[in-house]
Structure 1
Amino acid sequence: MSAPALRWYFDFISPFAYLQWQRVHTLAHERPVALVPVAFGALLAAHSHKGPAEIPGKREFTYRHVLWQARRAGVPLRFPPAHPFNPLASLRLSVAAGNTPEAVEAIFDWIWGQGQAGDSVEALGPVAAALGVAAETIGSESVKTALRANTESALLAGVFGVPTLSLGPELFWGNDAHDFALDALQHPEILEDPEMQRLKQLPVAVHRRA
């Protein structure tokens, strides 16, 4: 059986994507991983969800939790000047730069490693210059179309949040699911376990009223 194709769906707005990037980058040295920037806000809208940063209390806890995780993992992390922010410029810069590991690394480092703003072409100017991407390219219609296509393909694949690592049709959501994904990659039979299969068809006993 051939190994499944790996795709990593991410948005630079997510600090959890920044944390998982450290591990995805390592995985990409071992086998090809398609890096797919998507608009997290569009995923939330499609599923009628709120992001954790949009819920008071959960927002503050999430920020402290991600900082704790980063420190525990030895990953430098400094929040940008404001969050949530509009990530479209950073996503488009990644697309314009070819979504290479070098480009993704540079943008993540700028926003989450150095704590710089990533909410406009102007704010990302030093990164774009280092990557050799002109400002007008970032805002080009072809780049915008490519980002929309990425997001639409993610929705068609069943992606509901970021970061998500896909192993063929199997989706593993969140930085904390990375070890689960690696285990399934090495031992795909764990997903065929009877209890794993039963969970796919587990009945819903009650529906919460809106």
Structure 2
Amino acid sequence: MPKPSRGRPRPPGKQSADGVVRIIGGQWRGRKLPFYSAEGLRPTGDRIRETVFNWLAPYIEGARCLDLFAGSGALGLEALSRGAASCDFIDSQARSIEQINTHLSTLQCSLGSTHCQRAEHFLNANPATWDIIFLDPPFSQNLLEPTLRQLDDNTNAARFIYIEVDKNTPYIAPTQWREVKQKISGQVRYSLWENPIE
């Protein structure tokens, strides 16, 4: 039989967060934001984010960012905290988008736009260009390759693309990009690619 709970009962309709994301740099440094679990959700860890944004430090100020498969919103919120001009957050899970909207409201930030739809549909409908795209899809859902193929068709999609993937997962980057940074942390391989747009 399950043991009775010794904690204080939760108020009706209230749910506790499944985890917390901490912003590690910029104007909101140290702010802790809750997130709720969703299929494949795996927020980018503090150490990886610190490394990634050290890579991006010369380019993040005033950048237009796209956080595909946004999940907790950790990457896009970190970018906004560090001076990005804007960020589009894309996720197919309504709960994740609702949570990111809550974070933007809590931080009194009007520079983020949220879109509850699949990444492929968003890219089809928005052939825009960004300065930085963050690609951190759920590892087990085979979403990275088709997204990269879509981006390969739009040669001016972004100047930089950050990719986070299981370290054992191969992928083919768009033809015009070159890899400028790569590291492995535990089971995660993460890299930064540059598109030498004229």
More strand by share: 2
Question: What TM-score, normalized to structure 1?
Answer: 0.28
Q: Which has the higher contact order (CA 8 A, sep 6+)?
A: 1
